[in-house]
Chain A
Amino acid sequence: MNNLKLKDIVVSFMITTVLLLFLEVFSSSFLPAVGLDEYRLGFHVLIVLFIAFRIESIYLPYLVLGFELIHSIFSIEGWASGTFAGVVICFLISYLKDLIQLNSRLSTIVIVQIFQTVWFLIVAGLITIKTDEMSYFLLRLPRFVSESLFLSLISPLFFELLSRFWKTNRDGQGVGI
């Protein structure tokens, strides 16, 4: 677990933001261009899960807000529902850190999948309440399963990359890579 100074956080945040921007461009233009127009990869979710597990900072909620604002530029989903889900999940993780042992790739994949599901349920719930339409949830579910499985499978490698940006250590309660 890393307790970072504000200066380090700002630098790491900027680098991660640039990465997120490029991944959003990839997800919103490359995937449709190669015919995968049914699928979008929510890399912002992985980034928020990474900081929730690996970063110990009083600014964590603002980091979540920042990443979701960037994501909202590429999606009319907006920043609010993702921020709500991200902050709730950060809060949950901060209380479950002692119970969750992310010391192998498998455990990282499983736990990332679980928290992606929690994220999906929160966001889907908010949108269902907002639009008063249950069909959204049912239509989205099959695609969520395939997209989230892919993200979970790449999460150990993705977290390894992010841990370089955030200079987190690999021992202790950090995510197993």
Chain B
Amino acid sequence: MRAFLAESSKIKLVNTLVVLILSIHGVSKQSFEFEKLSWFESFIVEVFTPLQQGTTTVKEKIDFAFKHYFFLIETSKRNEELKTRILELENAIFQYEEVQKENERLKELLQFGEEIPRQKVLSQVVGWDSSNEFKVLRINKGKNDGIELKSPVITINGLVGYVYRLSANYADILTILDQNNRVDAIVSRTRSHGIVEGTSNYKARLKYVVKTEPVQVGDTLITAGLGNIYPKGIKLGKITKIEKESFGLTQSIEITPSVDFHRLEEVVVLMAHENEASDKVVKDE
């Protein structure tokens, strides 16, 4: 018995070491730039993302039920029929208004960036990363819709991020709020260059701008177009705080992104340039 216990302890120690080495290797190889999903991960994403979407829908339905039904239960019975009718009409109007609002948003989104010579894919946000420290969101379009890794993602208000990982029908977007996402940026007024980096608290910061650059609070930032991910000229945000330390060469600049990430519902994924896409088809052939 003692020999068996000693044997099992050895096996456990070996297993522990194997998994530890594997995890250290995993940490060292982990990339926060982009990641390719295995077939198993794709399968789980495909199966469970509709549940994420469903959770949001159920929550909306419950809200709707509370707002439009439960509060009316105690009304007079004589008026029940009439109120039910009103309720139906209200529901219809509400749904109509929601559709109208959605249409307006989508129309604006489609019209936005007409000067950007790329195909655009409209998609809905269906979930956020389950770890708080990473600002990643999941959308309901994927490889089947023509989306590719590192495709930029925007809204009418500005840049959201880029496609970090992909499955057949869903994609994860590494937003500009994530500190692993770095965007080459230009201050629109002064043309000063810098790098925008997320700070995880719904803000970002502009780095590597030397103290002599005359940037001011309220200045707008746009993408510089360097780095082969984002097209030039997409709005990033505004400078909301500047701190000039007595030491160092650069200034500490806080940015408030122009996209309201708390209220993000639809986004546009910019596809590859048409000529790039056709080049790719030729290469594939």
A residues sitting closer than 8 Å to B (CB atoms) are 21-22, 24-30, 32-34, 37-40, 42, 57-62, 64-65, 70-81, 83-84, 87-88, 90-91, 126-127, 130-131, 133, 135-136, 139-140, 143, 147
Contact = CB atoms under 8 A, between A and B. Distances in A.
A76 B26 contact: no
Contacts of B53: 29
B112 to A, nearest CB: 24
Given A29-B127, A143-B132, 14 more contacts: A25-B52, A29-B52, A30-B55, A33-B55, A40-B132, A58-B11, A70-B44, A74-B130, A75-B131, A75-B136, A83-B23, A91-B16, A127-B133, A130-B30
A90 B133 contact: no
Contacts of A57: 12
B254 interface: no
Contact of A25 (B15, B55, B131): B55
Nearest to A59: B15
Minimum-distance CB pairs A-B, first 10: A80-B26, A61-B19, A29-B52, A74-B130, A28-B130, A75-B131, A84-B23, A83-B23, A40-B132, A77-B131
Contacts of A75: 129-131, 134, 136
Interface stretch (B71-79, B172-180, B210-218): B172-180
A15 B276 CA distance: 47
Contacts of A133: 179
A147 B132 contact: yes
A139 B27 CA distance: 21
Contacts of A21: 44, 48
B248 to A, nearest CB: 16
A164 to B, nearest CB: 23
B20 interface: yes
Nearest to A64: B19
Q: For B23, B130, B261, which residue has the most chain A Cβ atoms within 10 angstroms?
A: B130
Interface of B is mostly: helix
A101 B80 CA distance: 61
A87 B19 contact: yes
Contacts of B8: 58
Interface in B31-69: 32, 35, 41, 44-45, 48, 51-53, 55-56, 59-60
A59 B11 CA distance: 9
A72 to B, nearest CB: 8
Nearest to B11: A58
A61 B132 contact: no
B13 to A, nearest CB: 9
Given A136-B179, A139-B201, A83 B22 contact: yes
A37 B128 contact: yes
A142 to B, nearest CB: 10
A40 B27 contact: no
B230 interface: no
Nearest to A129: B27
Contacts of B261: 37
B18 interface: yes
A25 B45 CA distance: 11
B24 interface: yes
A76 B55 contact: no
Contact of A139 (B18, B59, B131, B199): B199
B126 interface: yes
Contacts of A88: 20
Contact of A74 (B129, B132, B199): B129
B21 to A, nearest CB: 10
B48 A83 contact: no
Interface string B93-133: 00000000000000000000000000000000011111111
A96 B106 CA distance: 58
A143 B131 CA distance: 11
